[in-house]
Structure 1
Amino acid sequence: MRILMTCFLCFAIPVLMHYMLSATNALSLSSYTDELALLALKEKLTNSVPDSLPSWNQSLHLCEWQGVTCGPRHMRVSVLHLENQTLGGTLGPSLGNLTFLRILKLQSLALHGEIPKQVGQLKRLQILDLRYNKLQGEIPIELTNCTNIKVFVLRENRFTGRVPTWFGSMPQLTALFLETNNLVGTIPSSLQNASSLQMLFLSENHLEGSIPYSLGKLSSLEILGLALNNLSGEIPPSLYNLSNILSFNLLGNELYGSLPSNIHLVFPKLVEFSVARNHITGNFPNSISNLTNLKRFDIAGNSFNGLIPLTLGRLNKLDFFNIENNNFGSGGAHDLDFLSSLTNCTQLSMLRLDHNKFGSKLPNLIGNLSINLKYFDLSDNQIYGVIPERIGQLIGLTFLDIGSNSLEGSIPYSIGKLKNLVRLVLQENKLSGNIPTSIGNLTILSELYLSSNKLEGSVPFFLRYCTQLQILSIAVNKLSGDLPNQTFRYLDNLIFIYLHHNSLTGSIPSEFGNLKHLSELYLDSNHFSGEIPKDLAACLTLTRLVLMGNLFHGQIPPFLGSLRSLEILDISKNNFSKTIPFELRNLTLLNILNLSFNNLYGEVPIGGVFSNVTAISLIGNKNLCGGIPQLKLPKCSMASPKTHKRYLKKKLIIISVIGGVLISFIAFTIVHFLTRNSKKLSSSPSLQNRTLRVTYGELHEATDGFSSANLVGMGSFGSVYKGSLFNFERHIAVKVLNLETSGATKSFVAECNALGKMKHRNLVKILTCCSSVDYKGEDFKAIVFEFMPNGSLENLLHDNEGSENHSLGLTQRVDIALDVAHALDYLHHDEDQVVVHCDVKPSNVLLDEDIVAHLGDFGLARLIRGATEHSSKDQVSSSTVKGTIGYLPPEYGAGGPVSSQGDIYSYGILLLEMLTGKRPVDNMFCENVNLHQLCKVKIPEGILEVVDQRLLEPFAEDQTGIMENKVRKCLVMFAKIGVACSEEFPNQRMLIKDVIVRLNEIKSSFP
């Protein structure tokens, strides 16, 4: 028996081993098939761009590739999940060879082209998610073979054709997302057969026809999204059988009918409801007060009427309530009584009641509305009385519009408590009195509309504190006096200024030239006088300049011809004289030129706008001649007295200029030979518009002989001393260059030239430069700045003892981040040439007495042309930029050109350092982990593990957890900005203007 058993084993073991090896080889072969399929897919996904998907190579097992998950049994690819990369390729046919694939998620990869037909081979597929790409073509019918699909997502692509009828043959389908494409035709009634469907999104397409009655059979449906199509007809009553509905959205169609009076019974679980922008009629559905889970309610833009019930206070989860643009209200005294019930809705953040027929006074109890209220719009109603002082209790507001009513009295002082306001609209009322000084507290206000009231006094100087203003509209009031000096120099974000139809006097302030973003300037119908200041030549984005009906005089300045963006120029009804400058022909975009009712004479130019008789108005100028025949002006006489007079005047000017040049040359020659042995620098950099002049001796005395007791810092090229000059009220900082250091002289010239012609509240203000000799006869170079009493951000973050023990809170850090962002925005966009700082880091961010940040140390700064004019000749090689390790962008290390994106990288690292309290060169970081990567992997769940714990101390005693959640949200947002700015590749980094928007959003959400 033993012999038989032995013989059997001798025979069976080799056979068993053979089958085991065969199974292993088969398994290996199957994995190899998936590997080949993925490598072929990579070529298509990435357009064969090298370094894309670097882990997809044969040195790693395919189950370790990025985004690839294998099943444990067969080691075949079961999940392919890639997102948020700019691959920019297509879906290749090899995708169909991944036959074990259950989940396919390729999101936000910038893919284009069509879905290959081979996708129909993926019969195990359960989830198909291709959202946020640029895929096109029709949805392939081959997908009908994928009968196991449960979730089908093609949202935000460019698919065309009709919604396939075969979705109804997918019994396991639970979610269908086709919104934001270019689908046409009707909604197929066959969808009724997709009995498991819980979510149906077809919004933002071009669907038409009526909503199929059969959709009412989808008893499992929880979310119905058909918004923003061209659907018409009546809302089918069958939809009110969908008792599991949580979200019902038919916004933006052509539907009509009315809402059921028992809406709380038909949709008992309702959370979101929107039928806005249709043609729905009837009374307000009072029964919604019984929907205790309701968060969003939007019936705006219909034809509802009647009164609003007093029972809305039961909706304690209500967040969004929009009934604007209907016929609610009767103009009666009790129209707004329902506001008292809304004071119980403590989660309310959006309240829109505008464009209705509400009457009555604005009740005091509006101050009791939710402190979470961010958006409050009561405009275009019939509300009267005064604005209650208690409106100042709505401290969460970012948007307040109560314009176009009949409100009177003064603007309440308490409006200044609404420090989160971004948009304030009080126009078209009967408000009187002065503009309250408290408006100066609204430091993040972007839009201010006070036009068409009865406001008096002058344009307030305290508007200078509203440094984020983009729209200033105070037109059609009773304002008087001159425009305040030095106010507009701080408002360099202004885009639109409307001051017309007042009684303002004086001249146009020269600081209007600082408004580099200015697009529209309306000063008409006032009493302004003087000449148009030449500083306006810097406003190159100006599209509309309207100065009609004032007392301006002198010649029409030729520089107006350099404002190539001008579309409207109206300087009629003034006292302009002399001839029309021929430079105005250069304004190719001009479609209205009104020069009428002035004292102009001489020849009218031909060409440009002067060739379009319908675009120009010249009436009321009696001595004009020439021009195109359609103007019917007399021909110009060459011998006219005025022409001869101008000729003689030009000759005198030419003779005077030549004589002046000769005299200047002779004087220069004499001075040159008398001073040629001087030790002083022959070509010292100059500062524009500076009056402070200092000598070496004065700086020596101001710093007690450059005493070590006054030493406040040391940099790459020299030392900084605190000092005090005689007859100069503020302390100064003197940066003395160490001329033995290589590059110090070049740094001195660069910093003087850069800062000398730049003005911004968040740049360190340079007072003067000194290039002289010291008491030993050696060359001496120094730059004098305003002293910053709170030192550098570096000290505040890492050395509290050296900075008067300041501990920066979250609010202060966000403010500092905003200050530096504004400085970079100015450097990168507001100069004729882009200024790249090249050394953004905490030690170069200095803080004044109010902890306002100022970016300094421009010793490494580079000038390049703007992005629209950039050429290879203008590129500055980064090989000449030293910078600082840890903040230096990776492309500089590889010899790439200097660019504004390099500053964005350094800024991103600075933000992450402010967030974590860790320097980028901290010992905790090694070759494989840096500050950027650490923060990126901790967003969002682990953010509290890496933040500077001092940021959390003020909230340590909060037992509710509410404050912690709000702080966490702010920290996550801050971290995301820092990470987005410090991405490895320049084109993936965040734009600085977007940074400013996001930081302001953090400020508005501060706990």
Structure 2
Amino acid sequence: MACCTRVAICSFTGGNYTDRLSLLEFKKTISDPNEALVSWNDSTHYCSWEGILCSIKHPHRVTSLNLTNRQLVGQISPSLGNLTFLKVLILSANSFTGDIPQSLGRLHRLQILKLNDNTLQGGIPTLANCSEIKELWLSKNQLAGQIPADLPTSLQKVILTANNLTGTIPASLANITMLKNLTCMNNNIEGNIPDEFARLQGLQQLHFGKNKLSGRFPQLVLNLSNLVVFSVASNDLSGDVPPNLGGSLHNLKYLSIGGNFFHGHIPSSITNASELNILDMSRNKLTGVIPSSIGKLHKLFALSFEFNRLQANNRRDWKFMDSLANCTELHVFTVLDNRLEGNVPDSIGNLSSQLRYLYMARNQLSGDFPSGVAKLRNLVGIELGANQLTGVLPEWLGALKYLQILKLDRNIFTGQIPSSFCNLSNLIGLSLGSNQLHGHIPPSLGTLQTLSELSIYKNNLHGPIPRELFRIPTLLTIELYSNNLDGPLHNDIGNAKQLTYLDISSNGLSGEIPSTLGNCESLQDIRLGHNVFNGSIPTSLGKITSLQILNLSHNNLTGSIPVSLGSLKFLEKLDLSFNQLEGEVPTTGIFSNLTSVQIDGNTGLCGGEAAAHLRPCSVMHLNPRKHKRFPVLQVVVPLTSTALLAILIFAILFWRRNHKTKNVTSSTFDSKFPKVSYNDLARSTEGFSESKLIGKGRYSSVYLGILFEARISVAVKVFSLGTKGAQKSFITECNAMRNVRHRNLVPILTACSSIDSKGNDFRALVYKFMPQGDLHALLHSVRVDGNTSNLRHITLAQRLSIIVDIADAMEYLHHNNQGTIVHCDLKPSNILLDGNMTAHVGDFGLSMFKADSTLLSFGDSISGSSFAVNGTIGYVAPGGEVTIAGDVYSFGIVLFEIFLRKRPTDDMFKDGLNIVRYVEMNFPDSILKIIDPDLLEDELERNVSQETSRAINDKQLKCLLSVLKIGLCCANPSPNERIGMQGVAASLHGIKEAYLRHESE
């Protein structure tokens, strides 16, 4: 052993010790859980260590250090600055934290520096001395500050995407004449692209999407003739689109200016950019017609003009459709939500045979179903809803064998449902609601074995509901309400094991409610009201442990109310009104909450809660056998697997079109992904690697992933099914998110319910990645030892924007037209921030839903939860009430935490003192003593004197007083005295606007 050591030492004597010692210093500062650096030891020459390459000309001098994706954790040691021969330094896709060492600026031979996909903080160090550097990759970190003005002029590629960078784009970057790629998406960059950039004639890619750019379209871009990619999507740019756009951009392949405030016409000059593959001008205020010459862009893959004000009033206006026939590679075409009128020309059939997605919903289209669509045999998705189309649905639709999404709701279609639909073997969602269809529901629809949602509400259908539908293994939603359906509900409904939503109300269905309905153990919402069902209420309904809403009102039901319904812990609304029920009303479970149960119109009922004021059962002439009370059924039914729930992509992406506002923030090109598998998610997160773990909660872990061909950054929320309540949390969150869309809710992309590589059940939700992390981390950065470290400066304007965003989200949840959603767990860690510091409310695993035309009053409890505390200690309202008033209380606590930078569970809050009382005691005269010192000018100490407090701007003080007053109104101990979120949001918007107006003066 000693001999071996001696040999190893001898091998180093002729070389340079500096590099070896520097590498060992680097190793000391990091954790290596997967032992990727096991070869870094004395028995091996350091030039043979993992990730190391040494120079041939200069033996023992390290020229390359590449440790990509080794799951390394820790800080980057400044010792790497001693590797003076280093040309390549790549530490991508690890978990490095802390600042980028300034010493790296000494590496004058460095050519490639890649530190992307870590959690590095601080600013970008000066690299002015790295005179040979060609590539700088710092994307997907938490870097702050401005883009350095002294970046080396040798650079060819600068990638800074998904950080916290602020300030403006330095004009000095125009001196980097070799620059080919400047990518800075998902930051907080303001201003506009400097005119000096016109000198960068070699520039090929310029990405500044999802920032805060303002002003007019950057005219300088029109002179960059070598541009291949240009994106300023999702900014605050405005004004007309330049009439000569595309005039000199002959190499442009990707142009994305969607999500701004551009107006005016689409310039016909765009057709000069003949190499375009993707053209996205969506979500603006464009008017006029689509240029008839658009077909000159014959290489187009995707074309999006959706969410604008474009018109087509006559045959001449529709000529663009003729022209598009030249685009033989077109896969995506969307003009959704514009002002196109009249008949769709037959020339639509001349579009590319490769077309996959055709979206023309929410226009003013009329006439028969466009016959030309029959030629588009490769279509996957068709949206023509919310138009004025008439006539019968053509049988040839059944020949589109790849179709997964068919949305034709809210038109005036007549006739019968084509029997040929049974040939659409890949169909996931079928929406024919709000038309004038008649006839029977074809039993052959039962052959659609991937169907997830069947929506044919508000038509004139009659006949029975085919039993074959209940044999579709993937069916999650059935909406057949407001038709003329009749006959009994077949016993085969018990086969619909995955069904979560059943609405067959307002028909003429009769007979007994089958007891097999109790076998549908995934059901959350059952609506059978306004039919003519008779017989008794099946006691088997008490087995549906996931049930939240049960409406059997306005039928001819008899007998007693099953006691088993009282054992349903998640049941939040029960409507049995206007039947012929008799006997004693149970008092357990939901029956103890009179605001959640409706039983009026049943004259034979007695007993129950005293507040119900029913007749005592003892004075009624009852048949003791008929009205014998049954013991509470002690039924424990585990939630079964919701197989193939990945097709919730349809429920989430396809139905998202139901909202007409600009709350829809996803672009067409990153939101149309029908399915995602376990393998897809495993690959995207590198096998759910610890290095990709970005959060962990009671029921789930969240991983950073790169998904889909478009390389989208996503947050993959994997549920820990071994934890009691995790399956319920998954189902609840799916149900909450399926029909809601708002710019301040975390955007969901898809869901996955599958089997993992070991054969175990697997459940996951996929959300858009929020690069700024959660609000808790923003407010309370901590080191491993628990000491506060490097708290980020958050301006008053930023905090106002964040609290306004949260208020808008909560107002939408409480008062949207889909019903009322009570979040139940509002807290900073469930509020995520995107690259623009826009706040998004997420995590609906504990939420409750009331889908009723009458909104909840503050006293209406919809709790049925089995949790002892519905929410998180410190944020949950006194008494743990699960109401919208409880959410308002939680909002007030979050507001205090943002402006005080104190947790409600801080050690100082004890012996009867809490954060609400703390604010009350100091309001209004002493608030400067309690607010976050970071909000005071010159970083004043917390105990400010009267003299120093005068330094605070009167407008700032007035703003803070107004905000904290709203917080006190929200956190009032009495639920009935709290203001609603509509009032909260309106007030906060007014405060924010007044403050920003003052700041601009």
Q: TM-score normalised by the shorter chain: which range applies?
A: 0.5 to 0.7
Alpha-carbon contact 1:172-1:194 (below 8 Å) kept: yes
Where 1:535 maps in the other structure, the secondary structure is helix
The reply on whether 1:165 has 2:148 as its aligned counterpart is yes
The answer as to 2:418 corresponding to 1:456 is no
| Deviation digits for residues 534-568 of structure 1 (CA, Å, limit 9, x no counterpart) | 43334343332222212223333344344343333
CA shift at 1:436, angstroms? 2.1
**Paired position in structure 2 for 1:69:** 53
- Counterpart in the other structure of 1:829: none
Q: Is the 8 A contact 2:233 2:256 kept in 1?
A: yes
Q: Give the distance between the partners of 1:606 and 1:188, measured in 2 at CA.
A: 70
- One of 558, 563, 567 as aligned partner of 2:544: 563
* Cα distance change, pair 307–580 in 1 and its aligned pair in 2 (3 A): same
CA contact (8 A) 1:336 1:359 kept: no
Contact in 1 for aligned 2:124/2:148 (Cα 8 Å): no
2:459 to 473, 477, 497: 477
From 596, 617, 621, the equivalent of 1:637 is 617
Q: SS where residue 286 of structure 2 aligns?
A: strand
Q: Which moved more, 1:419-428 or 1:609-618?
A: 609-618
Q: 1:291 to 1:48 in 2, by over 3 A?
A: closer
Residue in structure 1 matched with residue 328 of structure 2 by the alignment: 346
**C-alpha contact (below 8 Å) 1:85/1:110 kept by paired residues:** no
| Structure 1 position 125 matched with structure 2 position 106 | no
Matches of 1:42 and 1:541, distance apart in 2: 51
Task: Please list the CA deviations of residues 792-830 of structure 1 after superposition, one character each: whole Å capped at 9, or x if unmatched.
Answer: xxxxxxxxxxxxxxxxxxxxxxxxx99999xxxxxxxxx
Closer/same/farther in 2, CA of residues 818 and 588 from structure 1, 3 Å limit: closer
Q: 1:591, 1:299 → 2: CA distance?
A: 44
Question: Any idea what the Cα deviations from partners look like across 1:33-68, whole Å, max 9, x if unmatched?
Answer: 5455545645665x3325545555555554444443
1:520 Cα shift? Answer: 1.6
- CA shift for structure 1 position 187: 3.9
CA contact (8 A) 2:280 2:305 kept: yes
Q: CA 1:61/1:440 → structure 2, altered by over 3 Å: closer, same or farther?
A: farther
User: Helix, strand or coil for the counterpart of 2:437?
Assistant: strand
5+ residue gaps, structure 2, are: 1-9, 634-639, 645-675, 681-719, 727-754, 762-1001
Q: Which secondary structure does the structure 2 equivalent of 1:391 belong to?
A: helix
CA-CA distance at 1:633 after TM superposition:
2.3
Kindly state the Cα deviation for residue 345 of structure 1 after the two structures are TM-superposed. 0.8
1:497 equivalenced with 2:478 (yes/no)? yes
Structure 1 residues 609 and 290: CA distance shift in structure 2, 3 A: same
| Contact persistence 2:584–2:627 (CA under 8 A) | no
CA contact (8 A) 2:445 2:468 kept: no
Q: Aligned ranges for residues 542-557 of structure 1 at < 5 Å?
A: 542-557=523-538
Alpha carbons of structure 1 residues 589 and 29: separation in structure 2 relative to 1, 3 Å: farther
Please tell me the residue identity of whatever aligns with 1:495: L
**Partner of residue 684, structure 2:** none
Report Cα offsets for 1:418-469 as digits up to 9, x if no partner. 2222211122222222222322222122111122222222222222332111
What is the rounded CA distance, in whole Å, between the counterparts of 1:759 and 1:91 in structure 2? 45
- Find the counterpart in structure 1 of residue 309 from structure 2: 327
**More off after superposition, 302-311 vs 214-223:** 214-223
Residues 209 and 433 (structure 1), Cα distance of their counterparts in 2 relative to 1, 3 Å cut: same
CA 1:390–1:332: 2 relative to 1, 3 Å: closer
Q: 1:474, 1:125 → 2: CA distance?
A: 64
Q: In structure 2, which of residues 505, 513, 516 is the aligned counterpart of residue 532 of structure 1?
A: 513
The residue matched to 1:321 in structure 2 has which SS? Answer: strand
Does the CA contact (< 8 Å) of 1:389 and 1:414 recur in 2?
no
Distance 1:291 1:870, change over 3 A: closer
Larger Rg: 1
Distance in 2 separating the partners of 1:205 and 1:760: 39
Change beyond 3 A, Cα 1:550–1:870: closer
Cα 1:290–1:501 shift into 2, 3 Å? same
Q: Cα–Cα, structure 1 residues 160 and 605, in superposed 2: closer, same or farther, change >3 Å?
A: farther
Q: In the alignment, is the contact (CA less than 8 A) between 1:425 and 1:448 conserved in 2?
A: yes
Aligned to 1:151: 135
| Structure 1 residues 326 and 39: CA distance shift in structure 2, 3 A | same
Give the match's secondary structure for 2:390: strand
For normalisation by structure 1, the TM-score amounts to 0.59
The amino acid that maps onto 2:446 is R
Alpha-carbon distance in structure 2 between the residues aligned to 1:332 and 1:82: 62
Contact (CA 8 Å) 2:498, 2:643: kept in 1 or not?
no
Aligned to 1:398: 380
Structure 1 residue matching 2:454: 3-state secondary structure: strand
Return the letter of the residue paired with 2:88.
Answer: I
> 1: CA distance between counterparts of 2:546 and 2:263?
46
TM-score normalized by the length of structure 2: 0.59
- Mapping 1:238-253, distance limit 5 Å: 238-253=220-235
Note if 1:182 corresponds to 2:167.
no
Q: CA deviation at 1:261?
A: 1.0
Q: Quick check: 2:481–2:503 contact (8 Å CA) kept in 1?
A: yes
Determine if contact 2:247/2:270 at 8 Å carries over to the other structure.
no
Amino acid at match of 1:352: T
What residue number does 1:969 align with?
A: none
Please say if residues 132 and 156 of structure 1, whose CA atoms lie closer than 8 Å, have aligned partners that are also in contact: yes
Whole-Å Cα distance in 2 between the matches of residues 209 and 818 of structure 1?
41
Alpha-carbon deviations, 1:816-850, whole Å to 9, x = none?
x99999xxxxxxxxxxxxxxxxxxxxxxxxxxxxx
- 1:432 maps to 414
Name the amino acid aligned to 1:204.
N
Instruction: Give the drift of 1:214.
Output: 4.8
Determine which structure has the larger helix proportion and give its number. 1
Q: Which amino acid aligns with 1:638?
A: S
The one-letter amino acid of 1:78's match is T
User: Are 1:271 and 1:296, in contact at CA under 8 Å, matched by a contact in 2?
Assistant: yes
* d(CA) in 1 for partners of 2:756, 2:257: 46
Deviates more, 1:349-358 or 1:411-420: 411-420
> What amino acid maps onto 1:571 in structure 2?
L
2:974 paired residue number: none
Residue in 1 aligned with 2:87?
102
Partner Cα separation in structure 1 for residue 508 and residue 541 of structure 2 = 21
Report the CA distance between 1:348 and its aligned residue.
0.9
Q: List per-residue Cα deviations over 1:385-443 (Å, max 9, x = no partner).
A: 22244423212211111222222222222222222222111222222222223222221
- 8 A Cα contact 1:216 1:239, kept in partner: yes
Counterpart position of 2:256: 274
1:173 Cα offset (Å): 2.2
Which AA in structure 2 matches 1:77? V
Distance 2:301 2:488 in 1: 49
Aligned residue for 2:57, secondary structure, equals coil
For 1:184 and 1:603, locate their aligned partners in 2 and report how far apart those are by CA, in whole Å.
67
Secondary structure class of the residue paired with 1:479: strand
1:411 is the counterpart of 2:397: no
Question: Do the aligned partners of residues 524 and 48 (structure 1) sit closer, same or farther apart at CA in structure 2, a change above 3 Å counting?
Answer: same
Contact in 2 for aligned 1:393/1:417 (Cα 8 Å): no
Tell me the distance in 2 between the aligned counterparts of 1:145 and 1:271.
Answer: 35
Letter of the structure 2 residue corresponding to residue 497 of structure 1? I
In 1: Cα distance, 2:440 partner to 2:566 partner: 37
Q: Distance in 2 between matches of 1:870 and 1:401?
A: 37
Distance 1:588 1:551, change over 3 A: same
Q: SS at the partner of 1:512?
A: helix
Give deviations 1:904-924, integer Å, cap 9, x for gaps: 99xxxxxxxxxxxxxxxxxxx
How many Å separate the matches in 1 of 2:495 and 2:41?
A: 55
RMSD: 3.8
Q: Percent identity?
A: 36
CA–CA distance in structure 2, aligned partners of residues 140 and 649 of structure 1: 73
Instruction: Check the 8 A contact 2:459/2:483 in 1, yes or no.
Output: yes
Cα deviation 1:474-527 (Å, max 9, x = unaligned): 2222222222234432x2112222121222223334443343432222111122
Q: Which residue of 2 aligns with 1:379?
A: 361
Could you give the per-residue CA deviations for residues 200-243 of structure 1, whole angstroms, max 9, x where no partner exists?
22212234455555545544432221112233333343444434
Residue 541 (structure 1) aligns with? 522
- Once the 2 structures are TM-superposed, how far is the Cα of residue 257 of structure 1 from its aligned partner? 0.6
Q: What CA distance in whole angstroms lies between the structure 1 residues aligned with 2:83 and 2:238? A: 48
